[in-house]
Amino acid sequence: MQQRSFTSGRIREARWDPVTQQLELRWEDGRWRAWKAVPQEVFRRLCAAPNPHAYWEDRIAEEYPAGTPVARNAATGPTLRDLFGEPED
């Protein structure tokens, strides 16, 4: 997985998985969001953009389908729900 951290702006971290081509972004509020089928070149340009949020808004937000983020905070790790799914009634 390739990743890049940002010290300012609304996007704080970007991760891209070359196997699944999923892009995951961590926002300033700590939330993760993901997009599927994002080419490596788009990830590279996001990381090189002077304003990553503007690049995301113009080139990614509505261009690629939403995915489910798998990135987790290393301090907390996955939850039981992450490991075993929703309980059945």
pLDDT in tens, the chain (89 residues): 899 999 989 999 999 999 999 999 999 999 999 999 999 999 999 999 999 999 999 999 999 999 999 855 544 455 666 567 666 65
| Count of CB atoms situated within 10 Å of the CB of 5 | 11
The answer to whether position 33 is within a domain reads: yes
The answer to whether position 79 is within a domain reads: no
The answer to whether position 85 is within a domain reads: no
What is the reported pLDDT for 77?
57
What is the reported pLDDT for 74?
47
Which residues form the domain of 22?
2-70
| pTM (2 d.p.) | 0.78
The answer to whether position 77 is within a domain reads: no
User: Could you give the number of structural domains in the chain?
Assistant: 1
What is the dihedral sign for C-alpha 81, 85, 87, 89?
positive
Give dist(CA 59, CA 78) in Å, integer.
30
